[in-house]
Amino acid sequence: MTAPTPPNRPPLTFTVDGRSVEVPDDGSSLLGVLRDRLGIRSAKDGCSPQGQCGCCTVLVDGQPRVACVTPARRVRGRTITTLDGLPEDERRSWAEAFCATGASQCGFCTPGIVVRLSGLAAKGTAADDTAAVEQALLAHLCRCTGWRTILEAWAAHVGGRAAGDPDRDLEAAARRATIEGRTPQAVSPEVALGHGGFADDGAPDGALVAVPDGAGGWSVGETLAEARAAAGKVQGRRTTVEVRHPLEPPPGDWAATLVTTWVEPGYLELDASWCEPGGEPASPLGNGGAFGGKLSTVVTTAARELADRHGRPVRVLLAREDAVRMGPKRPPVAGGMRADGSGVLRVVATPGIGEVVARVAPRLHVEQVEVPGPATSLDLRAAGWAEALVLAAGAGAVLDEGADAPGVLAVEREAGADGAGRGAVALRSPDGAVARAEVVTGDDPRVAVEVSCGEVLDEVVLRSYCIGAAHMALGWVTSEGLAVDDEGRVHDLTIRSFGILRAVDMPPVEVALDRAASGPPVNGSDAVFAAVAAAAWLAQGAPPAWPTGVRLR
């Protein structure tokens, strides 16, 4: 049981969503009180107690505040408004706007974003004040949508155009989302309100909480705060250690070389599961696939074992630091390629990587190298084959393996004045999707994408996934990286240290969909991811080491 409130600390009283509440003054954060004492699950935990992702944003006396780093005692006597406490018509309008524009995919980050935008709208900010919205979004991270659709949702809501298409087929939209995310995903206005079915939101009251103890086991407590205290959790920091590249490129006379480093998938909903004794654990893939980052996770097995051991329901939760240390990364590579597609790709040893690369670049010899570091996986978005196709684009190795084979179809590059440049790449993915991306850098940066991936099913969802893939690709090339030391320990443990592009960093993205395509629907956003990465790299002059450090905006 939670320790009682000490005699010298009277209970805390404040107002939450219009009702007066009283809770013990036991040192809990406001987020802990909202989720674990009051059962308000719209405020999400994406990084606590780092205060960096914005998923737990609420209004305190009308002002946005991140709840995970706000001590509950700091809001004594004040008024708290969560997403659930916004007026019903306003909440519905936001939900419709986010769904209609594709501004929500998994829906984990959007409740906090909606709350912040609600506070911004209350100040009278205009529908077309994009700069003000981008500044407000600096307090948030969204990994799925690429930010531009969120700006569109803002304009739709504030401009009174939030209602979606009444004839839109949301079942078809969910089919497209499932194809793009590679795990089942719902599409509806409710998803934007955080009702996507996330694992920890459905945990029963009174469940024990388990967190990693740092020694390969689990610390268990009646509350998250108690479990973390027992584990001796230390909040992660952003390191001063430089990002480095674990592999050296192979010697040779290459048309292009490419060296990448460790990068973090950066999904917002952390690994979580819960289980009743003798039951089946809740899936950590509540609504979306986390870009493959949670397909293999320790939380489900732990939830089952701990529930059986304790004879009570148990919630198993990873903190952000745990997810970075324990979660898989895409394999770093160092490769060289000639214009005929031959070459050598050194890669951090990853089961199956040779077969994946051979499918898109059969003349590229793969050398697997054992390197201390975090686990790698081919589950992550386009891992292995995207790197091979980017290298092929840099070398000008255009496909000649057959009409339907995956590979690079066309390459264009132009160098302009004052650092401006243009890169354009067309490619076919192993799924059979064809994507063309054009990236322009300089004073007027922009991205244009065309994709053909079978029957569209739903334009809004496919467009949203393509913009999100472009966002991830641009960050991968220019800014994302983790500091990993010689012993393989990850030093960048805060979500802001991953280098994910913010809203203010993201250039406009135009998406053209092949609406005439009638074949079976296949994943298109992974092809867009690879094409945008290649085009962005060429537009910068193909510097060999990523991240390049080039700001696109």
Question: Which of 402, 413, 409 is CA-nearest to residue 428?
Answer: 409
- Domain boundary (143, 178, 197) is at 197
What's the token pair of residue 8? 């010298």
In terms of domains, do 218 and 193 share one?
A: no
What's the token pair of residue 515? 């609406």
In terms of domains, do 475 and 394 share one?
A: yes
What pLDDT, in 10s, does the model give residues 408-435? Answer: 999 999 986 666 899 999 999 999 999 9
Residue 351 burial (C-beta neighbours within 10 Å; 0-12, 13-18, 19+): exposed
In terms of domains, do 115 and 192 share one?
A: yes
- Residue 397 counted as domain residue: yes
Q: In this prediction, what percent of the chain has a pLDDT beyond 90?
A: 90
- Residue 324 counted as domain residue: no
What pLDDT, in 10s, does the model give residues 486-503? Answer: 999 999 999 999 999 999
- Residue 255 counted as domain residue: no
Tally of residues, the chain = 553
In terms of domains, do 350 and 498 share one?
A: yes
In terms of domains, do 285 and 357 share one?
A: no
In terms of domains, do 294 and 375 share one?
A: no
The pLDDT, as a whole number, for residue 171 is 97
- Residue 305 counted as domain residue: yes
Q: What is the crossing angle of helices 148-158 and 88-101, to 10°?
A: 140
Total domains present in the chain: 4
Give residue 398's region: left, alpha or beta (phi > 0; psi -120 to 50).
beta
Query: How would residue 3 be classed by pLDDT, with cut points 50, 70 and 90?
Result: very low
Instruction: Tell which wins on pLDDT, 6 or 524.
Output: 524
- Residue 549 counted as domain residue: no
Q: How far is CA 470 from the centre of its chain?
A: 13
In terms of domains, do 381 and 427 share one?
A: yes
DSSP one-letter code for 85: G
In terms of domains, do 493 and 348 share one?
A: yes
Q: Let me know: does 233 contact 313? Beta carbons within 8 Å.
A: no
- In 20-169, where does DSSP find H-type helix? 30-32, 88-101, 110-122, 130-136, 148-158
The pLDDT, as a whole number, for residue 419 is 67
In terms of domains, do 44 and 192 share one?
A: no
- Residue 3 counted as domain residue: no
- Domain boundary (318, 352, 386) is at 318
Using DSSP, state whether 201 is helix, strand or coil. helix
Q: How far is CA 176 from the centre of its chain?
A: 18
Q: Let me know: does 383 contact 354? Beta carbons within 8 Å.
A: no
Question: Which of 168, 141, 165, 137 is CA-nearest to residue 151?
Answer: 137
> What is the domain extent for residue 105?
86-197
Order the strands of the 208-212 sheet from edge to edge.
218-221, 208-212, 314-317, 272-275
CATH number of the structural domain spanning residue 149: 1.10.150.120
In terms of domains, do 292 and 186 share one?
A: no
Q: Let me know: does 395 contact 347? Beta carbons within 8 Å.
A: no
User: Which residues 6+ apart lie within 8 Å of 102 measured at CB?
Assistant: 145, 149, 460, 461, 463, 464, 465, 467
In terms of domains, do 468 and 531 share one?
A: yes
Q: What is the mean pLDDT of residues 397-403?
A: 78
Using DSSP, state whether 113 is helix, strand or coil. helix
CATH number of the structural domain spanning residue 354: 3.30.365
What pLDDT, in 10s, does the model give residues 264-323? Answer: 999 999 999 999 999 999 999 989 879 999 999 999 999 999 999 999 999 999 999 999
The secondary structure element, H or E, covering residue 128 is none
The full DSSP string for 348-411 is: E--TTHHHHHHHH-TTEEEEEE--SSS-B-TTSTTTTHHHHHHHHHHHT----S-TTS-EEEEE
- Domain boundary (151, 168, 197) is at 197
The pLDDT, as a whole number, for residue 7 is 56
Query: How would residue 132 be classed by pLDDT, with cut points 50, 70 and 90?
Result: very high
Can you give the pTM of this predicted structure? 0.96
- Residue 260 counted as domain residue: no
- Residue 72 counted as domain residue: yes
DSSP one-letter code for 500: P
In terms of domains, do 299 and 414 share one?
A: no
DSSP one-letter code for 472: H
Q: What is the mean pLDDT of residues 443-450?
A: 95
What pLDDT, in 10s, does the model give residues 191-240? Answer: 999 999 999 999 999 999 999 999 999 999 999 989 999 998 877 777 78
